[in-house]
Structure formats: structure tokens, C-alpha cells
Amino acid sequence: MKTQKNTNVVMFTLMERLWHWIQAFSMVMLAISGISLHWPGSIIGSMESASSMHHLFGYIVTINFVVWFIYMLITKRIHYYLPKKADQYPMGIFKQAKFYLIDIYFTNKHPYHVGPENRMNPMQKVAYNGVMFAAMPAQVITGFILMMGGASVHTALIIHLLVGAFFVLFIVGHMYLATTGHTPLALFKEMIHGYEEEVVKEDK
């Protein structure tokens, strides 16, 4: 006879969890204040308030990103983002995407096992590498250009708006994918207490 039990497996350190929630909250505040800058009064009362909020959380995100990068390098946890042979690129990306879009409604068996030493599937690695090493630096750089002014402001504004729209879509997609654990709230809990609830079958 087989039974199931939950075993706690460490997935995220306290530092990573703090970084994640600071980043998440700051990105939402940037989106809200950014929308209010382009459509004054739509969410935040005044242009001045929206501008101050946008600058404040822009600085927080920039500092948070630098801290994250240094921490990942020092602890060597940056390897979570690196492609591996087992990821089966490029087909691994399509396999994982098919699971999220179709297979998940028929089976809860993920095509790639995620654990403490392999925290991201092939699709996540591509997405997070794009976000952290391309989109985030582009947003920070164009944000500072817009603050300083100059001849390149128009181009910087277009890039800033496009990348900002991408981040909004990414947040929505990220929240959906966070419901794809063995229960809809399992991955949310994981990012709060740092442990993965791993279901293990045992013979009795």
C-alpha cells in the first residue's frame, strides 16, 4: 500500500525571498506610477506625486537588482540561470510551453523536475535571463537617461515604455505560472517560507 507525505526541501534563502518581494512590490508601484505619469489623475492624484513615486521605486529596483546580482555571484547561485544539457534546448522550451498551455489541464506531471539544485525549467531560464540580463538593465539605463534629459530622451522614452509594458505582461504571466505547482498556492507559500512541499510516495 502506498501513502503520501510532505517533506520540506529548502528552495529559497531568506535573502532571495526578501529580494523577490521587494522587487515584486516595487515593480507594481512602478507600473502604477508610470501609468499615472502618462495619464495624470488616472490612478495617482497629481503628476508630482506620480513622478516622486516613480523615481523612488526606480531607485529601489536599481539597488535591489545590484544587490541580487552581487549576491548571486558571491554565493554561486547564478548557476540556476545557466543552461544545462538536460534542458534539451531548443525543444525543451516548446515542451515546457506545451505543458503550461495544454498538458497541465490533463496531467499534473511536469516535463522537468524542479528541485533545490535545478530550480528552473528550460522555459523559465530563457525568460528570467531575458528579464534580469536584458530587460532590467535596459529599463534602468533608459530611466536614468529620462531623468537627466538630453538629445536621446525620445528614443529612451520609447524603449522605456515598451520594456515597461513587457514587465506588466511578465508579472501577469508570472502570477499565472505561480499557480501551476502541485496545488494552486504551493509556489506562493514556497516564496514566503522558503521550502518546497515535495510529495513523496512511500510503501507501507
Between the CA of residue 180 and those of 9, 52, 100, 101, 186, what are the distances in Å? Answer: 18, 37, 8, 11, 8
pTM for this entry: 0.84
Q: For residues 139 and 66, give the distance between their C-alpha atoms in angstroms, rounded to a whole number.
A: 14
The domain tally of the chain equals 1
Q: Are 20 and 191 in contact (CB under 8 A)?
A: yes
Question: For residue 131, what pLDDT is reported?
Answer: 94
pLDDT tens for 139-181 read 999 999 999 887 789 999 999 999 999 999 999 999 998 988 8
Which residues are CB-contacts of 16 (< 8 A; sequence separation ≥ 6)? Answer: 71, 77, 194
For the ranges 28-37, 41-50, 132-141, the lowest mean pLDDT is seen at 41-50
The DSSP secondary-structure symbol of 5 reads E
Cell numbers of 117, please? Answer: 539544485
Model pLDDT, residue 61:
96
Is the distance from CB of 133 to CB of 126 less than 8 angstroms?
no
Q: Which of 20-34, 89-103, 111-125 has the lowest mean pLDDT?
A: 111-125
| pLDDT given for residue 122 in this prediction | 92
90: domain CATH number? 1.20.950.20
Q: Which domain holds residue 14?
A: 2-203
